[in-house]
């Protein structure tokens, strides 16, 4: 009869340290006693419920609702600590302190993602301008001596050649006929050379990227994907366009298409962490993939200088 007792004591000795590390349980207190202090798991019930709702909202893409719920949970946790000052710094309340830190990190992570999204949207102008200059440089290398984007800066130089063209036929024809012919070239010359077309396209591209971003935020994924498909043809390797299109495809539940789009972004921008992070989140939605694949992409993104994503790391556990 002693062997089972010994076995139970060994099991308790092995389990007790891990139990204390993960969850404090005051064995000496009687919860039904009027003098007993409420156990921590009772005090954390409301906060735990709010945190679960916040995590669900974040996974659904509703960042504002997630922030609201996380802030409510954080307020609840801080109140629990404030109402129990004699226990707040003891080992009993270690899970509470950990939850406060984790909830604060989740709030910071969502806010960082929002700021990063706004930065990417604002940076589209600079990116397309650099792309335009790159296209001009490539055109020169291929032997195109007069790339169109350079001409719209000054309109007066374009008018002078038009005047010269009108003056050239004057010596070979009588004065009355030249006077009659002059209006025709004047009307046709600007039509043949619409030099400002390129800059208008660039500005239009930026506006359409912002429109696509607004449609994704409004969950109109079909309209966003249709617009971004055209934008991808105009800028096949633009990081912002590719990531936004993957977001639209994900919203439409086209997870494999979103994966192909993000892999294209990864190949075009192998040193940028954003495609890797987005692929990590996407792995949880693709059948046959999961935490192991997501962790690989996340760790690759971290090696490229990506920030810590506490919400993603929690999903690995």
For domain 16-145, the CATH class is mainly alpha
Percent of the chain exceeding pLDDT 90 equals: 14
Percent of the chain exceeding pLDDT 70 equals: 61
- Segment 60-76, tens digit of pLDDT: 888 889 989 999 999 99
- Assess whether pLDDT exceeds 70 at residue 148: no
- Assess whether pLDDT exceeds 80 at residue 133: no
pLDDT number for residue 247: 92
Q: What are phi and psi of 37, to 5 degrees?
A: -80, 145
For residues 268 and 23, the model is more confident at 268
- Assess whether pLDDT exceeds 90 at residue 124: no
The predicted model gives 81-99 an average pLDDT of 84
pLDDT averaged over every residue in the chain? 72
pLDDT number for residue 38: 82
- Assess whether pLDDT exceeds 70 at residue 287: yes
Domain ranges of the chain: 16-145, 150-195
For residues 198 and 47, the model is more confident at 47
The predicted model scores a pTM of: 0.38
For residues 313 and 187, the model is more confident at 313
- Assess whether pLDDT exceeds 70 at residue 85: yes
């Amino acid at each position: 009869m002693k062997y089972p007792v010994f076995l139970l004591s060994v099991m308790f000795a092995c389990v007790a340290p891990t139990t204390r590390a993960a969850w404090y349980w005051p064995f000496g207190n009687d919860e039904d006693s009027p003098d007993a202090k409420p156990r921590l798991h009772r005090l954390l019930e409301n906060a735990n419920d709010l945190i679960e709702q916040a995590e669900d909202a974040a996974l659904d893409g509703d960042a504002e609702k997630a922030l609201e719920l996380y802030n409510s949970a954080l307020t609840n946790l801080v109140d629990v600590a404030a109402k129990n000052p004699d226990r707040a710094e003891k080992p009993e309340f270690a899970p509470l302190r950990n939850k406060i830190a984790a909830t604060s990190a989740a709030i910071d992570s969502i806010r960082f993602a929002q700021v990063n999204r706004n930065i990417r949207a604002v940076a589209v102008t600079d990116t397309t301008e650099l792309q335009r200059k790159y296209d001009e440089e490539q055109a020169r290398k291929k032997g195109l001596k007069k790339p169109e984007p350079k001409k719209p800066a000054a309109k007066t130089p374009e008018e002078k050649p038009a005047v010269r063209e009108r003056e050239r036929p004057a010596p070979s024809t009588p004065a009355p006929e030249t006077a009659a012919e002059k209006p025709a070239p004047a009307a046709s010359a600007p039509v043949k050379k619409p030099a400002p077309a390129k800059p208008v396209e660039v500005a239009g591209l930026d506006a359409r990227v912002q429109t696509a971003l607004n449609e994704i935020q409004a969950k109109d994924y079909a309209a966003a994907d249709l617009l971004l498909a055209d934008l991808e043809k105009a800028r096949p390797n633009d990081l912002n366009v590719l990531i936004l299109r993957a977001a639209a495809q994900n919203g439409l539940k086209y997870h494999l298409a979103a994966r192909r789009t993000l892999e294209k972004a990864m190949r075009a921008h192998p040193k940028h962490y954003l495609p890797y992070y987005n692929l990590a989140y996407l792995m949880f939605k693709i059948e046959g993939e999961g935490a192991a694949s997501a962790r690989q992409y996340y760790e690759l993104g971290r090696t490229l200088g990506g920030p810590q994503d506490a919400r993603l790391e929690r999903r690995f556990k």
